[in-house]
């Protein structure tokens, strides 16, 4: 069994490596897809797999590149701290060119507070592990500015585009991402994190849960609050899992939310929401961390069933079909599957 797990993990990590650029960052999908760009959020979730299996240098190289992106755009961050953004393009951009680190300037849902929280989370996590990549005064200053930026925009009640880059509203997953990052950042002695910034975020999160937002009563994004952010109580965790499994789990994946229109155009006469592959691996991860071997194994097997004949994991399948969408492989989906494999293997040891 261990040999099978090892071979599977190696295969999917190798798939992810095909999407790594010379700068150390990863594109969201393959070069011939629309996702051949670098996203802050995707990179965070991609490197979690390498962190999980102990390939720390890969993680550090990506984190260093993210830090370089922040230093490059330090002027924009400083402006946002002083002026508080009123337009989405004034926020820290969620996407950048994987080699030049320039922002993409077409209209996009660029106010994504969860992504900023995730970058801060990664940088301080490495510091706390003694594997830090923050070395220069400029780098230390820009990490402090990340904290100051999140406080300045009052993230706890700031309408952002959220994890799915869509409508502007307060998202629990965005608030939770920042709460988790600020709690870790507060453990770094040279960073100043106001207690009130964490308290206001925690209160906003508790007020929103178990909803993701005013318009979303259940959403795949809520699972980030359980893993990797670990900011939910046991009661909140159980309620999120219950809602996701009852309302969103499908054969080939998990819906992002009810009435999702993205890749919702089947020619079968009863078009429904696309089924996102990484949701099944996510459930396997969460149940493995909870020590529920049976449920973890169940969702891992279902995640395995999303792998294409070419050995790749897509972003999503069109509903009620075996047809993946064009974003295949999706590096984030590959990463979540690796983490699920690793955590379920640990349950068998």
As averages over each run of 10 residues, the pLDDT of the chain (349 residues) reads: 80 97 92 84 98 97 95 94 89 88 78 96 98 96 97 97 95 98 98 98 98 98 98 98 98 94 72 92 98 97 97 95 94 98 93
Residue 334 falls within a domain, yes or no?
Answer: no
Tokens read off for 285? 């991860």
What is the per-residue pLDDT for 66? Answer: 95
Residue 160 falls within a domain, yes or no?
Answer: yes
Specify whether the CB–CB gap between 17 and 306 falls below 8 A.
no
Which residues, other chains included, contact 221 with Cβ-Cβ below 8 Å and sequence gap of 6+?
A: 162, 163, 164, 171, 172, 173, 212, 256
What is the per-residue pLDDT for 241? Answer: 98
Residue 41 falls within a domain, yes or no?
Answer: yes
Residue 284 falls within a domain, yes or no?
Answer: no
Distance, in Å, from the CA atom of 275 to the CA atom of 264, rounded to the nearest integer, reads 10
What is the per-residue pLDDT for 135? Answer: 97
Say whether pTM exceeds 0.85: yes
Residue 322 falls within a domain, yes or no?
Answer: no
Number of independent structural domains in the chain: 1
Residue 244 falls within a domain, yes or no?
Answer: no
What is the per-residue pLDDT for 183? Answer: 98
Specify whether the CB–CB gap between 171 and 159 falls below 8 A.
no
DSSP 252: S
Kindly tell me the sign of the dihedral angle through the C-alpha atoms of 74, 140, 189, 51: positive
DSSP one-letter string for 157-202: G--B-TTTT-S-B--HHHHHHHHHHHHHHTTSTT----HHHHHHHH
Residue 259 falls within a domain, yes or no?
Answer: no
What are 103's strand-pairing partners? 96
Residue 260 falls within a domain, yes or no?
Answer: no
Beta strands in the chain (DSSP E): 38-39, 95-96, 275-276, 316-317
Q: Is the bond preceding residue 210 a cis peptide, omega within 30 degrees?
A: yes
Q: Which domain holds residue 83?
A: 37-229
């Amino acid at each position: 069994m261990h040999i099978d797990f090892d071979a599977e993990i190696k295969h999917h990590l190798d798939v992810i490596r095909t999407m790594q650029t010379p700068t150390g960052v990863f594109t969201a999908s393959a070069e011939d897809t629309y996702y051949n760009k670098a996203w802050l959020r995707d990179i965070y979730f991609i490197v979690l797999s390498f962190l999980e299996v102990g390939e720390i240098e890969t993680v550090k190289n990506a984190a260093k590149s993210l830090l370089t992106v922040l230093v490059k755009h330090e002027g924009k961050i400083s402006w946002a701290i002083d002026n508080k953004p009123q337009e989405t393009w004034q926020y820290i951009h969620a996407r950048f060119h994987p080699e030049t680190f320039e922002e993409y300037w077409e209209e996009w849902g660029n106010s994504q507070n969860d992504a900023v929280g995730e970058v801060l989370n990664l940088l301080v996590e490495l510091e706390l592990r003694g594997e830090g990549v923050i070395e220069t005064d400029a780098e230390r200053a820009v990490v402090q500015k990340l904290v100051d930026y999140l406080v300045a925009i009052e993230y706890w009640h700031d309408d952002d585009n959220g994890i799915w880059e869509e409508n502007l509203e307060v998202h629990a997953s965005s608030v939770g991402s920042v709460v988790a990052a600020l709690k870790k950042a507060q453990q770094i002695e040279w960073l100043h994190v106001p207690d009130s910034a964490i308290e206001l975020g925690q209160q906003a999160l508790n007020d929103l849960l178990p909803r993701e937002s005013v318009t979303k009563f259940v959403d795949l994004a809520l699972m980030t609050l359980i893993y990797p952010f670990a900011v939910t109580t046991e009661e909140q965790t159980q309620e999120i899992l219950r809602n996701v499994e009852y309302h969103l789990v499908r054969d080939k994946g998990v819906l992002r939310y009810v009435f999702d229109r993205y890749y919702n155009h089947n020619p079968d006469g009863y078009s429904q929401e696309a089924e996102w592959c990484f949701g099944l691996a996510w459930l396997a991860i969460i149940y493995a961390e909870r020590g529920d071997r049976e449920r973890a194994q169940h969702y891992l097997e279902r995640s395995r069933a999303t792998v294409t004949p070419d050995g790749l994991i897509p972003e999503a399948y069109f509903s009620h079909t075996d047809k993946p969408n064009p974003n295949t492989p999706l590096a984030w989906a590959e990463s979540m599957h690796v983490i699920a494999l690793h955590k379920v293997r640990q349950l068998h040891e």
